[in-house]
A and B are shown apart, each in its own frame.
Chain A
Amino acid sequence: MNAPVNDAEARELALAGMGASRLRKEDARFIQGKGNYVDDIKMAGMLHMDIVRSPVAHARIIKINKEKALAIPGVHAVLTADDLKPLKLHWMPTLAGDVAAVLADEKVHFQMQEVAIVIADDRYIAADAVEAVEVEYDELPVVMDPYAALLPDAPVLRDDLASKTSGAHGPREHHNHIFTWDAGDKAAADAAFASAPVTVSQHMHYPRVHPCPLETCGCVASFDPVRGELTTFITSQAPHVVRTVVSMLSGIPESKVRIVSPDIGGGFGNKVPIYPGYVCAIVASIVLGRPVKWVEDRIENISSTGFARDYHMDGELAATADGKITGLRVNVVADHGAFDACADPTKFPAGMFHICSGSYDIPAAHCSVKGVYTNKAPGGVAYRCSFRVTEAVYLVERMVDVLAQKLGIDKAEIRARNFIRKEQFPYTSAFGFEYDSGDYQAAMDKVLQAVDYKALRAEQAARRADPDSPTLMGIGLVTFTEVVGAGPSKMCDILGVGMFDSCEIRIHPTGSAIARMGTITQGQGHQTTYAQIIATELGIPSEVIQVEEGDTSTAPYGLGTYGSRSTPVAGAAIAMAARKIHAKAKKIAAHMLEVHENDLDWEVDRFKVKGDDAKFKTMAEVAWQAYHQPPEGLEPGLEAVHYYDPPNFTFPFGIYLCVVDIDRATGETKIRRFYALDDCGTRINPMIIEGQIHGGLTEGFAVAMGQQMPFDAQGNLMGNTLMDYFLPTFVETPHWETDHTVTPSPHHPIGAKGVAESPHVGSIPTFTSAIVDAFSHHGMTHMDMPHSAFRVWKELKARGMNL
């Protein structure tokens, strides 16, 4: 570069582009309470909806009496499945190829299922009217256990499917069976096991949990009967998909449907599905010609909207005597609840579960996932993870620990012996994924050195030697790889729409810019980070770049934000759109400087004539020219749209280590140390990454240490309030130590891989690994989550280890 280094660096700093820890643009409004959430939206003439829900988990509806509710002053309508039938809206398709009842049609399938809706002048009248709707049920036998659901004489849960011998994902072998999905090579895996000197197996249940975002789900639907237009403000992580589905369901042309996701108070997968409440509010607005607001309460959110996990897994590893893994077999029974409403790419009913060979070079592997109906709420969403990656990582990390324990090899050592080596990338796994890049060994070495792993093991040995020690010490280690950024449209679609994403950038005449995206932030800080990518690509300060998302009338079509896909897919779309603008800007600059394009160099924010520092045009000057007097033959204006269809997924990874001290008297676990090293490729905003990692670790801590959805035999959910459901606050949350390495993705325009979900995916098995490690000298190989004090104490007591 010809310009003084200091000058260019100063200008680069002023842009606050990629790599800058720029403060979040969103925070000013959030910390002042000036966000604009769905429940903040008030419209003239707006009515309120509330939902009558089933108190029982499985029953036939004998009679619904609306009279008393309709008699309450201020009640406008009470609608049941029978009212929706003429519109063919009493059932709706799910994202997983099944159908789900919008309002219970003759039968209820789970507790808190939507049975009727009430529309009233205000929320209070609506709630009173809900109590006045009388529903008579004839109770049926309840099936809560997926294994029991598959017994030959189990009650038929889905009458509507009883005669169907095949579903969206192949043949059904039982009336409560949804699908069986296989990946990998069964024959090769079986052969590996047949000849293996060592094999281990472990059963584990990844319990049903709920993402429980701070803001519950809701919408304001407003149908304008004069214009025939429907506007809906909605808590959705994928507003464009909602628009397509609403148009398909309602028959209103997609051009007359406007879906807006305003500020969203956390999603974590919970706001991907389309819920009956949304559909009912839209129908009510169309029927009544007035805006209708529906916002669920906390109990409704936890009880009836998308849960996560609930995988009963059997893992097996085959290995040589020195711990080299030769084969992996996994069998899963997946409890999907009453309707298969998983939010996965169409071809993958178990999502990306086949990433379960993890960070290891395993030559032969096979997995089989069996989806089953039970009398629980539908869901199976990706709770801060990419489509079942959390379950997969949990499985393989637990299995590697089990193998290490059997062989008496240290956890770190067995991982080192099995890692996919740096020089093997791009690496094709036994399940067919092409891992883009990684350097696991270097990352693990960094962590082991940072925490002085040898000293920790020595301390643990000393503690174990002391029979009077009041605590047990455990060390958890996880070396995980995620698959995110769904995804290449040749593999991934949702309802037939490829999982690309999009960006439209307009540079204004005075050099500021607006970018509109197909994604939607729910706390990730898109308005901050997306602007930084543009700032670096186009040399415009991020401060003058507006980022807009969530309004389908203005934003280009995109598949939304979940599965860590914003940076890998939309982030790439931004870079590509910016590069289109850059190419045009270069032509304009060449014209302005009266040189050939090839004689120009790009430096931070300007095009410079090679060899002449004084001759340059900044991007702002080029922008003015684009609108003022573009070169002959070039269109005026400076804008571009890019739809990015990723060539592959991205594979972020991390090395997490946790040290716990378990109180032998109470079972209480103290997280003494948690060290998280993440590699998400190119880092756009280190401060936001740090925040994302803290958030993900905290949610991982919540899942591992306390979250559960306990059901009784009658199907009552016994923990659906925040009195019971564990949401950690600063009081419970441990201190987090973070670190990173950078291994860019070779196929991504800026090398970024996505990060927000890694800490959730990676931390959960780390906690289990640490807890089990504390007990391992007493023969424990596995303990199911949650590791609450009571459950840990029971393990202590069962082994006579309690004080």
Chain B
Amino acid sequence: MEVKLDKRYPLDVDPARAWVILSDLKAVAGCMPGAELTEQLSDTSYKGGVKVKVGPAVAQFGGIVDVLEQDTAAQKMVLRGKGADKGGSSASMDLTAVIEVDPANPEHSVLHGDASVIVNGKFAQFGGRMMVQVSDMILLQFVENFRQAALALPAAAAPAGTIQSAVESSASASPTTASAAAPKVASEINGLAIAWALIKNWWLGLFGKRS
């Protein structure tokens, strides 16, 4: 099944630092709960995996992530990931992620992600109806990790707010620094937390609220 996600997450981080994290695939992987890059195959290609646990169902996708495009000027990354799980599931994702300047506050940024995720096999069959909700929860955890990683970077010397300054500041921060700044996160996606959040949202939905 295919899930299309187009999301904007406002961050209280300046665009420069956010781009430092986004442009470093290892740092991005570090922010994704349960994900890791295990091997660099080329400048733009990595081997890695992601482990997702929902209740008793565990899927461990192993595969390849390719950076199709890295546009520093536009602060845009285009990625394609493809993987399979031993238990009879496979998944692929096309993701375009952009760091935008928050129109309301040039000191802040917006992480804009546009993704198409295709899941096949058992994971689609069992998890199909929860895919959107689970994706939302995973992304919220990811964004929080991303934000913390960016905040942990030293603030940019130049005043933030322009693309130019952001580019300069990103150039000054080495990828190693960004990776090091990635926070320690749970080694796998926390199924119980997801389940709880789903139940909570459902209850709130009954009373006309959405968290």
Given the interface pairs A137-B90, A712-B128, A718-B128, the reply to whether A55 lies near B2 with Cβ below 8 Å is no
Q: Bound state CA distance, A598 and B197, in angstroms?
A: 89
Q: Bound state CA distance, A713 and B119, in angstroms?
A: 11
B120 in complex: contacting residue of A131, A716, A721, CB < 8 Å: A716
B94 to chain A, nearest CB (A): 14
Residues of B within 8 A of A714 (CB): 1-2, 118, 120, 124
**Contact across chains for A718 and B125 when beta carbons are under 8 A apart:** yes
A405 interface residue per 8 A CB criterion = no
Given the interface pairs A111-B121, A714-B1, A714-B2, the reply to whether A131 lies near B84 with Cβ below 8 Å is no
What are the interface flags for A680-721 relative to B under an 8 Å C-beta threshold, 1 for contact and 0 otherwise?
000000000000000000000000000000001111111011
Interface set, chain A 49-70, CB cutoff 8 A to B: 53, 55-57
Interface set, chain B 158-182, CB cutoff 8 A to A: none
B16 to chain A, nearest CB (A): 39
A158 to chain B, nearest CB (A): 21
- Closest A residue to B88 using CB positions: A55
**Contact across chains for B86 and A134 when beta carbons are under 8 A apart:** yes
A131 in complex: contacting residue of B1, B87, B125, CB < 8 Å: B87
**Contact across chains for B124 and A56 when beta carbons are under 8 A apart:** no
A471 to chain B, nearest CB (A): 26
**Contact across chains for B86 and A55 when beta carbons are under 8 A apart:** no
- Closest A residue to B62 using CB positions: A134
**Contact across chains for A712 and B1 when beta carbons are under 8 A apart:** yes
Given the interface pairs A131-B86, A716-B128, the reply to whether A55 lies near B120 with Cβ below 8 Å is yes
A53 in complex: contacting residue of B2, B84, B88, B126, CB < 8 Å: B88
- Closest B residue to A52 using CB positions: B88
Residues of B within 8 A of A131 (CB): 86-88
Q: Bound state CA distance, A111 and B1, in angstroms?
A: 12
B122 interface residue per 8 A CB criterion = yes
A710 to chain B, nearest CB (A): 10
Q: Bound state CA distance, A56 and B128, in angstroms?
A: 15
- Closest B residue to A715 using CB positions: B120
Residues of A within 8 A of B126 (CB): 721
**Contact across chains for A55 and B90 when beta carbons are under 8 A apart:** yes
**Contact across chains for B125 and A56 when beta carbons are under 8 A apart:** no
A416 interface residue per 8 A CB criterion = no
Given the interface pairs A55-B120, A56-B120, A111-B120, the reply to whether A716 lies near B86 with Cβ below 8 Å is no
**Contact across chains for B88 and A716 when beta carbons are under 8 A apart:** no
B89 interface residue per 8 A CB criterion = yes
What are the interface flags for B1-18 relative to A under an 8 Å C-beta threshold, 1 for contact and 0 otherwise?
110000000000000000
Interface set, chain A 4-55, CB cutoff 8 A to B: 53, 55
B92 to chain A, nearest CB (A): 8
Q: Bound state CA distance, A714 and B91, in angstroms?
A: 11
Given the interface pairs A55-B120, A111-B120, the reply to whether A716 lies near B125 with Cβ below 8 Å is yes
Q: Bound state CA distance, A132 and B60, in angstroms?
A: 13
Most B Cβ at <10 Å: residue of A131, A299, A713, A716: A716
- Closest B residue to A713 using CB positions: B2
Residues of A within 8 A of B1 (CB): 712-714, 716, 718
Interface set, chain B 105-145, CB cutoff 8 A to A: 118-122, 124-126, 128
B87 to chain A, nearest CB (A): 6
A668 to chain B, nearest CB (A): 20
**Contact across chains for B125 and A717 when beta carbons are under 8 A apart:** yes
A510 to chain B, nearest CB (A): 59
A132 to chain B, nearest CB (A): 7
**Contact across chains for B124 and A718 when beta carbons are under 8 A apart:** yes
A303 to chain B, nearest CB (A): 9
A659 to chain B, nearest CB (A): 34
- Closest A residue to B1 using CB positions: A712
Residues of B within 8 A of A299 (CB): 125
Residues of A within 8 A of B125 (CB): 299, 716-718, 720-721
**Contact across chains for A56 and B90 when beta carbons are under 8 A apart:** yes
Residues of B within 8 A of A721 (CB): 125-126
B65 to chain A, nearest CB (A): 17
Q: Bound state CA distance, A718 and B119, in angstroms?
A: 12
**Contact across chains for B90 and A712 when beta carbons are under 8 A apart:** no
Residues of B within 8 A of A717 (CB): 125
Residues of A within 8 A of B89 (CB): 55
A302 to chain B, nearest CB (A): 10
- Closest A residue to B87 using CB positions: A131
Residues of B within 8 A of A132 (CB): 86
Q: Bound state CA distance, A714 and B89, in angstroms?
A: 13
Q: Bound state CA distance, A110 and B89, in angstroms?
A: 14
Q: Bound state CA distance, A215 and B126, in angstroms?
A: 22
**Contact across chains for A716 and B87 when beta carbons are under 8 A apart:** no
- Closest B residue to A142 using CB positions: B120
Q: Bound state CA distance, A134 and B83, in angstroms?
A: 12
Residues of A within 8 A of B88 (CB): 53, 55, 131
**Contact across chains for A712 and B121 when beta carbons are under 8 A apart:** no
Residues of A within 8 A of B124 (CB): 712, 714, 716, 718
- Closest A residue to B92 using CB positions: A139
**Contact across chains for A55 and B121 when beta carbons are under 8 A apart:** yes
- Closest B residue to A712 using CB positions: B1
Interface set, chain A 325-376, CB cutoff 8 A to B: none
Interface set, chain B 39-73, CB cutoff 8 A to A: none
A72 to chain B, nearest CB (A): 13
B127 to chain A, nearest CB (A): 11
Residues of B within 8 A of A57 (CB): 120
- Closest B residue to A710 using CB positions: B128
**Contact across chains for B118 and A55 when beta carbons are under 8 A apart:** no
Q: Bound state CA distance, A358 and B121, in angstroms?
A: 42
- Closest B residue to A714 using CB positions: B120
Q: Bound state CA distance, A714 and B131, in angstroms?
A: 15
Q: Bound state CA distance, A716 and B1, in angstroms?
A: 7
A246 to chain B, nearest CB (A): 29
Q: Bound state CA distance, A720 and B88, in angstroms?
A: 14
Residues of B within 8 A of A713 (CB): 1-2
Most A Cβ at <10 Å: residue of B2, B90, B125: B125
Q: Bound state CA distance, A35 and B211, in angstroms?
A: 54
B162 to chain A, nearest CB (A): 43
Q: Bound state CA distance, A56 and B126, in angstroms?
A: 15
A133 to chain B, nearest CB (A): 8
Q: Bound state CA distance, A690 and B191, in angstroms?
A: 50
Q: Bound state CA distance, A134 and B118, in angstroms?
A: 20
Given the interface pairs A714-B118, A716-B1, A716-B120, the reply to whether A55 lies near B84 with Cβ below 8 Å is yes
Q: Bound state CA distance, A715 and B121, in angstroms?
A: 9
B132 to chain A, nearest CB (A): 14
Q: Bound state CA distance, A717 and B84, in angstroms?
A: 18
Q: Bound state CA distance, A53 and B89, in angstroms?
A: 10
B81 to chain A, nearest CB (A): 14
**Contact across chains for B121 and A56 when beta carbons are under 8 A apart:** yes
What are the interface flags for A364-393 relative to B under an 8 Å C-beta threshold, 1 for contact and 0 otherwise?
000000000000000000000000000000
Q: Bound state CA distance, A721 and B127, in angstroms?
A: 13
Most A Cβ at <10 Å: residue of B88, B122, B126: B88
Q: Bound state CA distance, A721 and B122, in angstroms?
A: 11
Residues of B within 8 A of A55 (CB): 84, 88-90, 120-122
Q: Bound state CA distance, A55 and B119, in angstroms?
A: 10
Q: Bound state CA distance, A18 and B36, in angstroms?
A: 73
Residues of A within 8 A of B119 (CB): 716
Q: A111-B120, A716-B119, A718-B125 are in contact. List 20 more A-B contacts (CB 8 A).
A: A53-B88, A55-B88, A55-B89, A55-B90, A55-B120, A55-B121, A56-B121, A57-B120, A131-B86, A131-B87, A131-B88, A713-B1, A714-B1, A714-B118, A714-B124, A716-B120, A716-B121, A718-B124, A718-B128, A721-B125
26 contacts between A and B (CB under 8 A): A53-B88, A55-B84, A55-B120, A55-B122, A56-B120, A56-B121, A57-B120, A111-B120, A131-B87, A131-B88, A134-B86, A299-B125, A712-B124, A712-B128, A713-B1, A713-B2, A714-B1, A714-B2, A714-B120, A714-B124, A715-B120, A716-B119, A716-B124, A717-B125, A721-B125, A721-B126
Q: Which residues of B contact A (CB under 8 A)?
A: 1-2, 84, 86-90, 118-122, 124-126, 128
Q: Which 3 A-B pairs have the closest CB atoms?
A: A55-B121, A712-B1, A716-B124
